[in-house]
Amino acid sequence: MIEQLLSAVDQAYDEMVEIRRFLHQHPELSFKEEQTQKYIADYYQRLNITHQTHVGGYGVVATIEGAGNGPHLAFRADFDALPIQDQKAVDYRSTVAGVMHACGHDGHTAILLVTAKILHQHKHAFNGKITFIHQPAEELAPGGAKPMIEAGCLTNVDYVFGTHLWSGLPVGTVHTSKEAFMAGADRFEITINGVGGHGAMPQETKDATVIGAALISQLQQIVSRRLNPIDTAVLTVGTFHSGSAFNVISGEAKLEGTVRTFNDDVQRKIISEMEAIIAGMDKSYGVTTTFNYTTGYPPVINHPNEAATAIACAKKVDTVTDARFTTPTMTGEDFSYYLHEKPGAFFFTGAQIENNFYPHHHPRFDFDERAMSIAAKTFMQLVDHYLMSTHA
């Protein structure tokens, strides 16, 4: 039966491409995905697949029951886009000004819809239940995963899996980690309130630009000099705004950035060090500083057994040439919330376009659509493992 499922994926490739390209042309931002939700729901409605809409927001949850009792498997795909102008010269480029699918979520949705269609057609062949979680708002904290979980999308689920099409890996690659795979992603804002003045009379000011520059330098020493070198962390200042004229000393500076960690103790240590440095700057320079730290998605921590199963299943896909465990990445994902609740794993499916690489969140981002078949076939192998084998 698994061969029939894999063959069905090949036969449905053109449909996956069609779905992906339609969604790419009609992207919607996080928490605004009303029409995308309707598109997904209409697809399930046409197939007469049981589904719910407005799950934790614009989430859609579909369920297929097999022929007999067995485990309950769940697959998840996200479907929000980003506030980026599409600069690709392709006929399926975004038709929405300033909005594009620059991270592959259109492909994730196409994969899951076609996977559900095929499994619905072959539901007599497996035992148990499969839930398809279509999640909005992955790109913007607080994200869509948590409200969907609170709304019950994981009720009675035994295992949960998800994949991310990854433009940094060649097609034919499937990578994951047995434990920590993606970092927790936090955000901070720092506003320095000094005293502005004439550019020719700095002695009468408290120069927020100079103080901000000094603060950035000290913040960069937290990871390099105040953490154990064995601990993995990133502290990045992404924006620094100060001043409005060449001959005016600014009285205010604003910094924004992100902290990435895998460990709660390391996260707390960084926050504590940031607070100490900021307090010291206030005292040294006689300014007042506002520090806002927002905890974002927790780290994606795979379950070892399920991660090993995902790699074993990927190795069975004929077009996969490199399926293995690899080092974690400092990018973040709210799939972490699902793994807090249920055993499972998240993995990357290589989708790099040869000689045309642009990273995720780039205006010219695109991916090799053949990767969608690999992801779908890996899902099919997981179904075979959990619901069609002696495992069940």
Binding-site residues from annotation for Mn(2+) = 103, 105, 139, 164, 361
Number of H helices, E strands in the chain: 10, 16
Q: How far apart are CA 12 and CA 20, in angstroms?
A: 12
- 138 is known as an active-site residue: yes
Query: Catalytic pick from 28, 33, 78, 80?
Result: 80
CA–CA–CA angle 278, 284, 285 (5° rounding) = 90
Q: How far apart are CA 182 and CA 176, in angstroms?
A: 9
Q: How far apart are CA 364 and CA 91, in angstroms?
A: 13
Length of the chain: 392
- 318 is known as an active-site residue: no
The torsion angles phi and psi of 311, rounded to 5 degrees, stand at -65, -40
Q: In angstroms, how far apart are the furthest CA atoms of the chain?
A: 82
Query: Catalytic pick from 138, 207, 273, 334?
Result: 138
User: If you write DSSP's letter for every residue of 181-215 in order, what string do you get?
Assistant: EE-EEEEEEEEEE-B-EETT-GGGSB-HHHHHHHH
Paired residues of 100 in beta bridges: 82
User: If you write DSSP's letter for every residue of 241-294 in order, what string do you get?
Assistant: EE-SSTTEE-SEEEEEEEEEES-HHHHHHHHHHHHHHHHHHHHHHT-EEEEEEE
Q: How far apart are CA 51 and CA 39, in angstroms?
A: 13
The DSSP bridge pattern shows strands 233-242 and 180-182 to be unpaired
CA-only gyration radius of the chain, Å: 24
**Cα dihedral 118, 30, 37, 100 in deg (nearest 10):** -70
CA distances, 324 to each of 248, 314, 315, 320, 327 (Å): 56, 9, 9, 11, 10
The torsion angles phi and psi of 327, rounded to 5 degrees, stand at -75, 155
Sequence-distant (≥ 6) Cβ neighbours of residue 92 within 8 angstroms: 21, 22, 24, 25
Q: How far apart are CA 389 and CA 118, in angstroms?
A: 18
Active site residues: 80, 138
